[in-house]
Structures are given as structure tokens and as C-alpha cells.
Structure 1
Amino acid sequence: MMKTLYLILVLFIPAVTLAQTGSLKGRLTNGGEPLPAVNIVIKGISANATSTEKGYYELKNIVPGTYEVSFSAVGYLTEKLKITIPNGEAAVLNGNLKENSSKLNEVVVTGVSRATELRRNPVPIAVMTKKEMNENVNNNIIDAIVKGVPGINAVTTGPNISKPFIRGLGYNRVLTLYDGIRQEGQQWGDEHGIEIDQYGIGRAEVIKGPASLTYGSDALAGVINLIPAVADGAEGILKGDYVADYHTNNGMVGTSLGLAYIKNDWRYNFRATVKSAHDYQNKIDGFVYNTGFREFNLSGTARVDKKWGSSQLTATLYDNKQEIPDGSRDSLTRSFTKQVNEAGNDNIRNRPLVSNDELRSYTIAPLHQRIQHYRLYTRNDFKLGEGSLQASVGLQRSARREYNHPTLAEQAGLYVVLNTLNYDLKYNLPSIAGIESTIGVNGMYQTNRSKTGTDFPIPDYNLFDAGAFLFAKKTFGKLDLSGGIRYDNRHMKWNDFYVGPNAENGFEQQVRLPDTAGAHLQFPAFKHVYKGLLGSLGATYNVSERLLLKANIARGYRAPNITEIGSNGLDPGAHIVYLGNRSFSPEFSLQEDIGVIAYLKDVDLIAEFFNNQIDHYIYQSKLTDANGNPIVIVPGNSTYQYQQSKAKLYGAEFTVNLHPRNLKWLAFNNSLAYVNGINKNQELIAASSGAAKYLPFIPPFHIRSELKVTLQQAYGIFSKIYFKAEADAYTAQNHFYALDDTETATPGYTLINFGAGTTIKRKSEKTFCELFFQIDNLFDKAYQSNLNRLKYFEYYTVSPNGHLGIYNIGRNLSFKAIFPF
């Protein structure tokens, strides 16, 4: 009997034990879309799990009771919920995680010696993700960044040409990088944009403030680093995406195919893109003649990751045919006209009208520019014990042709080829007493050569640039300190450049020694070395995990670019004769930045203040004679001469983003940006009766608000459904460079935009496509941005409809679909 009783107890006790445990299971999503790799932890016990690819999880053998369950994942707010687990049953607990707006723990690579958490960098840096750029549907990548980062603006010449400005400074003062390699494509000009495929960018990092310490010249105002998307996912499976993009205003059609493949330690990426558009329109001008474009992009990358480090090889090709607007019209009807005769026989008042078919045609007009940009670079990272060596070498070739001869369509007016060799070498030393330090050298060798053109605004030149720097950072408890010094050296030279008549076409051509009979010396030989000693020092104090105080002081440097010192001729695309000044000194700035960043439970608060003093600031001004009348060297074209003086810029940016945790569906994002630019040339200000008080191209006070509603569940095949409404307001800009009508006052305006998007799932729950819809300028507001160059494209002093110059783009509906596979 005892043996029988023992046997019954042995069989019964496990059943009792089993009956005294329960389990927990559920599914984790974000807006109805499954979330993989979420960590699930039950407080007070050791039970934990990770969600599957479809968001499911399960924890077994849990003693019954009430517990606090925590769901956490990178990029999402941690969710804590209470659940009661009953005896012998499975409790179900689903979680809907909200994306975390805080980017303090994100790792950035721009403006630092090695990858650094954003919270530990005292320099103001903004990050834009691929998701954010997709939701800001635009004609080009710079306009997407302008929408997403306070303090960033763009000088535009139509929808596809945008040059970034950071806190009132642009052109060669903003350094654009592609995957960390400085972009060199004659960026000093107005009439062409950034030669980068917008659909291939996976992330953008923006430095607001001098970054000369690590990059040298041209980073005086800041840096925009456009980082391509990289391959991820399962090994041995070809993945990719197809993008279809359409805009109603100018009929822009964009298609892009991306492929990605991973095998062993190798990653491969490829992308091909085509964009095409006809003229854009607004309700004042109708269709704006010669603003269409056709753009092609190809890119390919191969990367290997090993124990010794990594190596990457990338090649890109950009080919853009961009029409050149000149703003000529019929004086009474204000209909656009077109040039059909050469300058000597051209009468602006007798030009023929542009037909409606031409305004809506995707065929590129005879008067256009063609920009071809080729890039080949390698980036390498070698582990050397406790340190590492980073080495990058890049080759770029930018060929730019402007076709401005209506009777000789194949004859380029401007044809220049810019070749650049970039190099960057950094050694990250082993940490010594907690100090992380880096020494490095970087720079470039560059040549510019004129080809078979008829206009020669700049000479053929050679440039060699080198800079060495030391950067260090250390943490003292809650305080992070970083800074360094740099010495820069830039050699610029060119030989005598002669221009003479071309008997074959009746225009001018470059004439080379020794046969210079009948030619004139347009650019006398020049040789100069520009030098700069730079430094920066900054600190971040972590008051708490969510509250930071930042301060930084930096000395920036920029050597004069080729147009500022060497130009002497017509740039046909800009319709401006530029005159340079060989005696210019480099620009030096001293900028102080102070920032307060708080990512709180229900709100993000960011306040950034800056004060920037610039010595030898270079700017353009119309050239006039002793009587104040504009000097015309080439009929129908303005003449500008570069000036130099002291300048001061100061301002602030504020961000207030509301995201109540109890209202997961709601986000209310707001930003304000203000900058003022003061010309410190007191003699010129006095002589002009105050007309020269302000610097040119300073953006007005900018307020942007976005109300976004994201549905927190899926509806059939539709998930991650969102709706947003935006108000983009610019106040009037009455602080402008008014001397000789270089600029004029700009009225304020407010644009109302609307957007929506969703993800469509297959039955397998894999994404079929992502859809984005946007209406920009919903009420078709007629406006002129003060940074719109077309505002000044006007041949008459009065207009029958009361409007002068060309207006910005009107209402635009855009549709974008991304099909991953």
C-alpha cells in the first residue's frame, strides 16, 4: 500500500505544480504593423523573451499573480503594462509601441572623429531618417531637409534646383557630403542643384555651425551629410524596392529601382533612377517657361566586413538636363517668350510667344544646361589593436555645359570640366586616461578646364588643399568635453588665359600660347596660398537622461572660391556677368552656440542660440557707375562685383513637439527659426543711406507647425495609417541688401499643406507597398520666397497685372509608392 501511495504522489505532484503555473502571450505592433526583436521582461522574476518577425511572443511556467510587463525596442518608447496571470491559463497581453522621437542616443558620424552618440556632441546636429524624408515628398532631397530641420533654407531656381543655406549662409559656406566624401561640382553657382540621387539616401545628418575643424574650408556655416541606404536583411536573398513618384504641378515622374544582396561578409547595393518634368506653374505666371528637367542616376556599392575592419567601394553617375529660364515675356499679355536669335540680333520685345504645347512638353528645350557628375570612392576602416585607422579616397568629375545659342543648338556657351581627388586619413588613438583622441589629415587636389565653349567666366585653375587636425574628447561624470585644433593650407594658381575670335562660329574661343594674335588676356596669371588656424571647444552637461545643456565655440575658415577671386565674364545660365577680386582674404568666423535639449515624457523641447562674427565676409553687389546707373557689360545681363567686409549673424531655433503618451495617435510638432545678418561695412552703409545695412539672402522668420494623427490599429490590409496638416509661415523680409536694388523687400506668406500615408500588407503580413500622398500649397497661394532667384527675372519696370518677376510653384499634389521585395 505504501508503494501504491508513493506512486500516486509521484504522478499527482507534477500535475498540481503544472496547475499552479500560467503563461503570457501576445503580439507587439506599431500602428498595426508587427514589431520584431522587442524585449519582453516581467518585473520581479527572470522571465523574458523576444518577439518574432511577426511580432508574437510567449512566456511559459509563470506563477499566477499580477505583474508589470515591460516592452522595449530600439527606436520606440518603452511600454509598461500590468497583467494578471491566472492558474493554468494563458493570459493575453498585446502591446502597441509608439516611435520614440528622442534622438539623443542615436549615433552620428558627421563632424566627429569617430561614431559618437548625439547626446555627447556639443555641436548642434540634426538627424533625418529615411521615414521622415519619405513623408516629406519633394522634387529634390534638399527641399525635404528644409522641411525637416529648423534653420535650414534653400536658394531656388525652380523646383529641381535648391542650394542649401544654414542660418543665413550658403553656397561655398555649406559643405555637402555624400557618404562622408565632400561634394565637388561647381557648387559656387546658383543655377544647378546637388548632384545626388534623392531616392537612394537612407539618412541625413546636418551640422548647424562651423565644422571647419574636421573638414577645413567650405564648412563655415555647417555640413549636410547625405548617407546612402545600405543592404540589410537575410543572407543570400536578393532584396530591393521600386519607387514610383508623380507630381501634378509640373508632371514630374520619378521611378527608382534599388537592389540589395548580402552573402557571407559582403554587402552589395545598386540603384537606378529616372526623373522627368515639364515646366511648373502658378496662378500668376501660368506655366513658367524653361523650368523642366530630365535626370538620370546610377549607383553601386560593394562592402566587406571582416575581423580586421571593413572596406567599401562605391561608384555613382548623375546626368541632368536642366532647362534655363530667363523670364522674357510679352510686355502686355505677360505671356512667356523665347529667344530665337543670337544676342546681337535679339530684340527682347519682338521674341515669339511660347506655345502651350511647349510649356507642357517633356522635351528639353534647346536652351538648357547639362550636368554630368561621376564619382568613385573607397572608404576603409582598419582595426589596429585598441586604435583604428580610417582612410578614404575619392575621384570626382563634373562636366557642365550650358547651351545658350539658339541658332547653334549644339554649341555650348559654357563648357567646363572639374576634376577632384579627395583624400581623408584619420588615426583614432587608443584611449589614454579616458581621453579619446584622433589625428588626421584631409584635403583635395582639383583642376578646372574649359572646353569648346564661347563664354569663359572663370579661368582654368589648379587647386591643392591640405589640413591637419587633432581632436579629443573626455567624459567627467555628467560632463562631456570635446575640441581640437587644425591648420589649413590651400594653394590656388592659374596661368595667363587668352580669349580670341572663333572664325568657324563667329563667337569667342580660348586661345593658347604661343599663337595669341588678335586675342585678349581675360585672366592674367595668379598664384596665392590661403592659410587658416582653427579650433573649437565644446561641452555637454547631462543634467539627467532626458535633459541636456550644450555650449560650443568654434573658429571657422573659408578660402575664397574661384568666382570670388577669378571671375571675369558672363555666366549664361545665371544671366550675370561676375567680376572677382584677387586681393580677397579668407573668411574667418567666431561662432558661439548654446543649446538646451529636453526629451520629456510628453513633449520635446529644444532651444538653440547662436552668435556668429565673420571677418572678410564676401558677398555680391550690383556694379553701378558714378551716377548710380547699372553698368551693363553684356546687353540683357546684370553685372555683379564681389565685395568684402565684416559681418555678424545671430539668431535662434526653437522646437516644441508634443506627443502625449496617453494619446498615442497624436503628435503636434512646432518649430521657429530666426536669423539676422548685419553688414559691418560702416562706410558703405553711410554712403548708401542704410541700404547696405543687412547682408544679402537672409531668410525671414520662419514658423512651421504640423499636426499628425497616426491610427493605432490596422484596418484589413492597411496599417500605419497617418494624416497630417502643416502650416508653413514666413514673415515679411524687410531686412535685405537694398543697395542698387540687389534685393527687394519680400511680403510674408503662409502655405497650408496636407499629407497622408499607409502601409499595405500581403496575406503573409509582409509589406506589399508604402503609399504617400501630399498636397503642398493647398490653397494655391501666390508667393515669392526671398530666396527665389526667379523673383528677379524681370525685363520691365512696370507690369500690367501689377506683378514683377516669377513666382514660386503653385498647388502641387504628389503621390509616391514604394514597393519592397
Structure 2
Amino acid sequence: MKNIILAILLGSSTLIQAQNSISGTVTDSKSQPIKGVSVFVADLHKGTVTDENGNYTFNNLPNGTVKLSFVFGGYNTQYTTLNIQQKETILNVILEETIFQMDEVIVSTAFNKLQSQNVMKVEHETMKSLQQKGTSSLIEGLATIPGVAQVSTGTSIGKPVIRGLSGNRVLVYSQGVRMENQQFGDEHGLGLNDSGIESVEVIKGPASLLYGSDALGGVLYFNPEKFANAHTFKANFSQKIFSNTLGSNSSLGLKTSSEKWKFLARGSYNTHSDYTIPGKNRVTNTRYNESDFKTGIGYSDAKFSSVLRYNFNKLDLGIPENGIDKQSTSKKTTYPKQGVYNNLWSLNTIFFFQNSKLDVDLGYIANDRSEFEDSDVAILHMKLKTFNYDAKYHLPKLGKVETIVGIQGMHQTNKNAGEEYLIPDAITNDFGIFGTGNYDWKSNVIQAGLRFDNRAIESESHGIVGEEGSFQAINKTFHSFNASMGYKTNLKDNLTLRLNLASGFRSPNLAELTSNGVHEGTNRYEIGNNELKTEQNVQSDLNLEYKNSHFEFFANGFYNHINNYIYTSPTGAVIANNVVFDYIQNNAKLYGGEMGLHFHPHPLDWLHFESSFETVTGQKQNGDYLPLIPANNWNNTIRTEFNIKNGLSDGFATLNVSNTFHQNNVSGFETKSNGYTLVNIGFGGKVKLGKTVFDINLNGNNIFNKSYIAHLSRLKTDGVPNIGRDIVLGVLFDM
């Protein structure tokens, strides 16, 4: 791995450099210069801001195609593609004022276009907007996005659910690398901290064309924070405190850049006591501690751009077993508990040619997970090491046709070092090849692609055949062809239609193929099935959007048919007081969607009203309902924006009412769930005290201390409610 990194970072620096530059002026519709516009060249990880005259300059740019984004609050984002054919290029830009949120460049799809130009509807949320909601963890923030939910174990462990699909059916990307952290387990969370993450993009539907196996249900794509602008040094410190868990979240970041070199580092620490339910009791051993460190170094010139990033994440997680038991405010976890160490290295390098480019992503993840039952000796210890590679070649553009071809793969080893085994020692190898094209004319865009994948899994035998925890050796190969096609058009000036049809697949994981014992957290004896076939789905999506200067509306509908859907089913037998479940397959379907509106009445420029509704239904071929399907939700927010002279700028106040409906459509071993309504409030802005400037957030979540049990809570079977009222105070200092 080190040799590959050095070869790309240092060896490529001998290439001949060009000295191209772009400069220009950014003005508004009245030809007035705009100061402070963020101008960014994504491929080079290079940014700047316009000066008081609206001017900007970039040097050391490559020949061929360069994409620039121009972003400023209160104005529409511009995303411009230039084909540089001379040493000095002048690009003047006019930004149009807008009331609604800025258009965003989407990087999780193939051609990195603005959302308004994208064939596929992708949800984009900044970490700042999620953190303003006062949630205590990254996954709780994600669950506020329409179409996204979480399977939770208290406040510390959460698994994402996209339109009713979870586990290995949802792929998570960080730093351009697919996360592999034993995600088959019910009590295995994301293993990501929101510090050092700039935004998240949510693809709701099969994305196997770009991401291969496990993207059958969708993708969560986390964008890391950007480097500092050239010739600047930045530092910031943030602190959040949580009343319910007596929690604290601290983060310190430093970054600097020269014309070609860039560097950043960020450390954070997160600690929480057991969470409190209405009635002031605490749920025993839901406490947790998290340490996180991220760093990155980058180099760019006219021939190539390369960024090396590293993320270390350490989790100390209590596992609640006895519900409401011994009361404590301690943050030291007790038994049983988990210790998780995650090391993620990523290297992204883009090579620029005359009219094309090669984008190469390499990743290495070492995930070390231990479980302690009643002592410091790990009863379960799993070591997962994964090497990922992804190379995409952007061919020269032919008229209005853009084309990408690529290869993608993974080599993974799983080793056990504890007394108990959940899955056997195994080696997994993936290889995929794909191609996709994009054609646009006037307000129309067509995008299509094709992909072939092969996965080989080879595991070792363990234990005595017939006894709990024993595994027979397997040697399995799975393969799949997948395709996607999308069409986007503007029916009228303010009305956009998107229609997408895509297939996806998921190979069965080791737990489904080999399980033989009491699976952690389920209280079930699970028996795997090495004859399982690949899950294969086809999903159709329809998106309709309307927008004018004071009103936005969207409606998303989907239908997802899955062949060979894998699930567990009781056999009627009992082993060691645990009901036996087999892994079996059946065809299934999921359907539903999201709709919402954003109203900004004129002339009340300070007032916003947002409302969204989401629904999903999941059924097996025989009409029975699928498990772990989130309940319908209707979410309403009133937001005001204001400034207080000599005190508060960019101020906001929010009132949110979230209505979750009864969930009566449950599988055979689930129970129905009652509906509930939560009220949340928020206040914040930028405060200036003398020369000191800082951002402040004050949130009250579940302000009326409502007692409720979410349908996807794993503590539901014990009758344990979710978290009660939580007051969150956060401050951010830029230095």
C-alpha cells in the first residue's frame, strides 16, 4: 500500500507542467461585484474567494476540461465547464439572486453535475444543517432526511435504512472508499463521526452501476471537509453539551494550503452517559465514548491532483441488556460492551490529459471489533481488512456526449481471534467493469450504463460439525449484470420531471451463508444457508419538482421488485431455549415515496414553512409484510431568519413537529407500534462580542418529554422507550 501511495504522490511529480490560469469577476444581475463568493475547482481540491472587487484567480491549471463552482448565500450556484486551450482564460460570472437554498454539485453520481442538471434525484444535506437540529449522533441526523430511517440500539448504535432496506443492502462511502465494518451485525453501527465531514448525499435506490454489490438499496456518500483556500491558515474549535446524556462533543481542526500543497487535521472526542427516558430513569449501559482523528495532505498541479486522507475512529460502546436497571451517570461502560477500532486510508488521484482524465481511488480499511461479556478478555474478536480500488476513465467528450468506463474491485480478509465465532475466517474478492454515458440537449438529459460483477467467497471450516459455532468450508462465486437508464426534462420553465429505471444486486453475506448459533442481539438461534442465491432487484423512480421564487414542491414515487430476497424464518424448533431461524429466500416488493413543499410568502422574507411526508410498504410474494419497515412520517418545520443589530447575524429560530404514524404492517415475529408526535425547537446564529465571533446553536428535542418507542428500536421488545427531552448547546469558534 505504501509503495502505491509513494508512486502516485511522488513519481507523478516528474510530469511536465503547464502554466494555465483562469481569472475573472463575479457580479450580480445589476453588474455590482460580489465579495466573498466561494470559487472551487473540485478535481484539484483548490478553492478561493472573490475580493472586494469580485475578482478571483486560479493558477497551475491542467489543459482540457475544468469545472468550476461559484457559491454564495442568497444566490443560485453556478457550475461552469471550461475547455482550456490557452495560457490565460478570462471567465466572468453573473450570479442570480434566489430565496431558496443553493443548488449543490452532486459527486456521488457519475458526472458530478448540479442537482438541477442531474438525471437522478439525490438528497444532499450539509453537516451544518444536520447539526443545527441538535441530534446527538451522525445517524440520528441522517434519519431526519425524507426516505431515511435508522435501526437503533439506544443512542449509540444506529444502522441506516433507505426506503425500507438496511444492513448490507445500503452501502456507505467515506473519503471516496466503501466502508467495510462488519455491517452484517445487528449491533454494528456506522463507525463514523460527523466531525471533518462536510456533507452527505443519499442515493435512494439501486446504485450497483457505480458501486457494485451491496448498493441494491441505496448509498450514503459522505464528502470530507475541504482544504483551506490557497495561502490561508484556518483553525476552529467546536463544543456541544447534551442535557439528557450529560454528554459532551469537542472538536478541534487546523488546515492550511499553499498554491500546490494542502494539509488538514482534526481531532474530536464524544462521551455520553446512559440516556434518560421520560420519568427520569436512565437506560442502563447505553453510555458510550468515541475518539476520532482525521488528517489529509494534498498536492495538485497542471498534470495531476492527489489527496491522501486518514481516519482513525475508536468506539467504546455499552450494550444494554437489562433495560432500566442500576442507575448511574458514569460514562465508563460496563459489561457487556464493544470495543471497535477503525483505520481508514484513502488515496484519490486524478491524472489530466489533453481532453480526458483518469480518476483513481484506492482505499484500505482495518476494522478491529471486540465484544466483552463479563471481563476484559474478548469473547468475540473479529479483524476485517479490506483493500478497495476504483478507476474511472473520462473519455474525450464527443459533441454533447460524455462517457465514463471503469473497473472496480475489493480484496477482503476476515480473521477471528476470540473464543466465539459469529462468521468463519474467509477471503472475499470482487471485480466489476462498467461503462456509462450522458447526453444532453436543450433542457433534456439521458443517461444510461451497463455493468458486470463477479464476487468469490472462500471460507475455512471451524469446530465440530453439528455443534453450535461450527462452520463448514464454502467456496462460492456470484456474478451479475446490471443496467440503468434515466431521463430528465423540464416540462415547463419551473417544472422538472425525472424518470429512472435501474437494476441492482447483492451477494449473500457470510452470516447468511454460514451462521450456526445464537446471533448477537437477536436471542435467536440462526442457521445459515450456503445455497442462497444473489438478490436481484429492479426499481423504477419518478420525480416531479416545481420551483418558483416563493414556492417549491416535490413528489417522489418508487416501486422496487426484489428477486430472491433473503430473510430469516422460524422453523418451530428450539435449541438451548432459543427459537431456531433459517435463512430463506422469496421474491419481495417495496413501494412508496416522499413528497414535500417549501413555502416562502412574499413580502415576509424572514419566514419559511417546510413540510414533507414519507411512506414505504414492504411485502413478500405471498403478501406477508417484510420486517424492519419504518412507519409513515409527516414532518413540518417553521423557520424564521433575522439579524439583531450589534448582536446576532444570520440568526434563525425553528419549530419542528414530527408526526410518526402507527405501524400496523408488521412481519410475523414483529409487534405493532403506536404512533407519536415529537416537538423540537432551535435557535442560533453568529454572535459578535468585541473582536470575538462565534456560531451558537441551542436546541430542544422532544421538548414535551414525550414517552414513545420507535418501531425500529431494538429495545422495543423489552418495552424500553426512546430518549426523552434533550437540550443541546453548541458553539463554534473560527480562529
TM-score (norm 1): 0.78
Letter in 1 for 2:195: Y
Q: Kindly report which structure 2 residues correspond to 1:410-559, keeping only aligned pairs within 5 A, or say none.
A: 410-451=376-417, 453-498=418-463, 522-559=470-507
**Are 1:292 and 2:287 counterparts?**
yes
User: Who is 1:608 aligned against?
Assistant: 556
Asked if the contact 1:218–1:557 (Cα under 8 Å) also holds between the matched residues in 2, the reply is: yes
Partner Cα distance (1:52, 1:536) in 2:
40
Partner SS, residue 255 of structure 1: strand
User: Who is 2:3 aligned against?
Assistant: none
**Are 1:745 and 2:664 counterparts?**
no
- Residue 41 of structure 1 and its aligned partner are, at CA, apart by 4.8
- Residue 573 of structure 1 and its aligned partner are, at CA, apart by 4.9
Partner Cα distance (1:302, 1:56) in 2:
27
Partner Cα distance (1:203, 1:561) in 2:
29
Partner Cα distance (1:315, 1:247) in 2:
29
Equivalences, count:
667
User: Who is 1:789 aligned against?
Assistant: 714
Asked if the contact 1:323–1:369 (Cα under 8 Å) also holds between the matched residues in 2, the reply is: yes
Unaligned runs of 5+ in 2: 1-24, 38-48, 55-69, 78-95
Of the three residues 731, 734, 739, the one matched with 2:661 is 731
Of the three residues 634, 645, 659, the one matched with 1:703 is 634
- Residue 411 of structure 1 and its aligned partner are, at CA, apart by 1.7
Asked if the contact 1:538–1:551 (Cα under 8 Å) also holds between the matched residues in 2, the reply is: yes
Partner Cα distance (1:546, 1:761) in 2:
39
- 545 and 388 in structure 1: CA distance in 2 versus 1, 3 angstrom threshold: farther
Letter in 2 for 1:556: G
- Residue 196 of structure 1 and its aligned partner are, at CA, apart by 1.3
- Residue 388 of structure 1 and its aligned partner are, at CA, apart by 0.5
- Residue 283 of structure 1 and its aligned partner are, at CA, apart by 2.2
Of the three residues 219, 227, 239, the one matched with 1:223 is 219
- Residue 384 of structure 1 and its aligned partner are, at CA, apart by 1.6
Partner Cα distance (1:584, 1:178) in 2:
30
Partner Cα distance (1:415, 1:277) in 2:
24
Q: Kindly report which structure 2 residues correspond to 1:96-135, keeping only aligned pairs within 5 A, or say none.
A: 100-103=99-102, 105-112=103-110, 114-135=111-132
Partner Cα distance (1:200, 1:521) in 2:
40
Q: Kindly report which structure 2 residues correspond to 1:226-305, keeping only aligned pairs within 5 A, or say none.
A: 226-233=222-229, 235=231, 237-283=232-278, 286-305=281-300
Partner Cα distance (1:471, 1:544) in 2:
28
- Residue 760 of structure 1 and its aligned partner are, at CA, apart by 1.0
**Are 1:160 and 2:163 counterparts?**
no
- Residue 56 of structure 1 and its aligned partner are, at CA, apart by 11
- Residue 758 of structure 1 and its aligned partner are, at CA, apart by 1.6
User: Who is 1:721 aligned against?
Assistant: 651
- 372 and 55 in structure 1: CA distance in 2 versus 1, 3 angstrom threshold: closer
Unaligned runs of 5+ in 1: 1-36, 60-71, 80-96, 329-334, 337-353, 501-517, 626-630, 686-692, 795-804
Q: Kindly report which structure 2 residues correspond to 1:590-669, keeping only aligned pairs within 5 A, or say none.
A: 590-625=538-573, 631=574, 633-635=575-577, 639-669=580-610
- 519 and 99 in structure 1: CA distance in 2 versus 1, 3 angstrom threshold: same
- 774 and 520 in structure 1: CA distance in 2 versus 1, 3 angstrom threshold: closer
Partner Cα distance (1:520, 1:736) in 2:
30
Asked if the contact 1:413–1:572 (Cα under 8 Å) also holds between the matched residues in 2, the reply is: no
User: Who is 1:774 aligned against?
Assistant: 699
Asked if the contact 1:611–1:651 (Cα under 8 Å) also holds between the matched residues in 2, the reply is: yes
TM-score (norm 2): 0.87
Partner Cα distance (1:520, 1:727) in 2:
48
Runs of 4+ in structure 1 off by over 6 angstroms are 52-59, 518-521
User: Who is 2:681 aligned against?
Assistant: 754
User: Who is 2:14 aligned against?
Assistant: none
Partner SS, residue 611 of structure 2: strand
Partner SS, residue 332 of structure 2: coil
- 527 and 599 in structure 1: CA distance in 2 versus 1, 3 angstrom threshold: same
- 749 and 519 in structure 1: CA distance in 2 versus 1, 3 angstrom threshold: closer
Q: Kindly report which structure 2 residues correspond to 1:27-426, keeping only aligned pairs within 5 A, or say none.
A: 39-42=27-30, 48-51=32-35, 74-77=72-75, 100-103=99-102, 105-112=103-110, 114-147=111-144, 149-233=145-229, 235=231, 237-283=232-278, 286-327=281-322, 336=325, 354=326, 356=327, 359-404=328-373, 406=374, 409-426=375-392
Q: Kindly report which structure 2 residues correspond to 1:568-607, keeping only aligned pairs within 5 A, or say none.
A: 568-607=516-555
- Residue 233 of structure 1 and its aligned partner are, at CA, apart by 3.7
CA deviation vs aligned residue, 1:732-791 (integer Å, no higher than 9, x gap): 000010x2xx21000011101111112112545xx7211111111111111111100110
Asked if the contact 2:115–2:121 (Cα under 8 Å) also holds between the matched residues in 1, the reply is: no
Partner SS, residue 139 of structure 1: coil
- 613 and 715 in structure 1: CA distance in 2 versus 1, 3 angstrom threshold: same
Asked if the contact 1:290–1:324 (Cα under 8 Å) also holds between the matched residues in 2, the reply is: yes
Query: Which structure's residues are more often strand, by fraction?
Result: 2
Q: Which has the higher Rg, Structure 1 or Structure 2?
A: 1
Letter in 2 for 1:264: E
- 640 and 816 in structure 1: CA distance in 2 versus 1, 3 angstrom threshold: farther
CA deviation vs aligned residue, 1:511-546 (integer Å, no higher than 9, x gap): xxxxxxx99981111011011100000100023453
Asked if the contact 1:570–1:577 (Cα under 8 Å) also holds between the matched residues in 2, the reply is: yes
Asked if the contact 1:402–1:573 (Cα under 8 Å) also holds between the matched residues in 2, the reply is: no
Percent identity for Structure 1 against Structure 2: 29
User: Who is 1:93 aligned against?
Assistant: none
Partner Cα distance (1:106, 1:751) in 2:
30
